[in-house]
Structure 1
Amino acid sequence: MKEHTKQVLENPELLREKLKIFLQTDYAVGSYARACEKFYQDGEFAYRATWSWGAFFFGFLFYVFRCRIGIGYFTLLFSSVVGAIVVNGTNNIVAASLICFAYSVWSIWLWVYAKFSVCSHFVDCLEQARESEVDCVLEKEGGYSFLLVFLYLFLGILFQGFYMAIIN
């Protein structure tokens, strides 16, 4: 881990300042700062379960909103397939139960992984930036996107419609 990354993670005021640039908002800085402090212990940044109400209420849209596109896209596809299977019905109750169980486990994982996903992306941005360019990289790579949320909702409805048309 680079020295300037350690300095940011070890200094609560500097951490909040850099997170504010990265998140491009004031309202969530405290929550993510506490999460980053929890993940960074003994000089190492590692996963520890944390709760995210945003991910709980909005699921994959939380990840899309926070520009974590890969997880958001995979969850969109997974949710659409599970939704289409459940809506279309299946004659095998065991298969339907296993699908619903897998979806439940996936959802819980999304809820407890959300803050780590954002914080690890923040640390990755700190690591890839030169010390003189940290703020520019954080501003470019961070933030949020309402446009992507609407795009993903549209794509989800479209994908589900195509899937339902194919299986019927």
Structure 2
Amino acid sequence: LEGVTHALRTTEYNDRNEQYGWIQRALGLRRVRIREFSRVNFMNTVLSKRKLTWFVSEGIVTGWDDPRFPTVRGVVRRGIDVEALRQFMCAQGASRRIVNMEWGKFWAQNRQRIDVYAKRFMAIDKSENVKLVVTNGPTKEERAYASADYHPKDPSMGKRIVRLA
């Protein structure tokens, strides 16, 4: 109709192929070639747009970019490297087999990608910290400090100061 020669869609629309072809023939339109692929499912994850919309409309999440959401905007906000996302999707290919992925494989691809440039930091969640009292420990004047690389494999990223005691 508008110069479309190929349509890419998920296998969930297989039932409509016959109807689609009939409409093209009845209207005398050039045949559009349909290429189908299976969608990527994640274990224990709601991916239905209708169900995800409920979370947004009820205010349970901040929006479609909420880091807890299995959306592109959500995982980008959570910290996925866009190139790692692209590599992950390309690795899946355009298979027609239904694939149930584990999130671990997805995030492992990200860790592998960002490992080369991510500095290492340590932190303790303030709401979960525990007070520790050390008797006979070093005084403020005796506290020891050391420097540590931001990245164990790449000293060129610089150093940070670490308090030892």
TM-score w.r.t. length of structure 1: 0.26
Name whichever structure is richer in strand by fraction.
2
Higher helix share: 1
Structure number with greater CO (CA < 8 Å, separation at least 6) is 1
Using the size of structure 2 for normalisation, the TM-score is 0.26
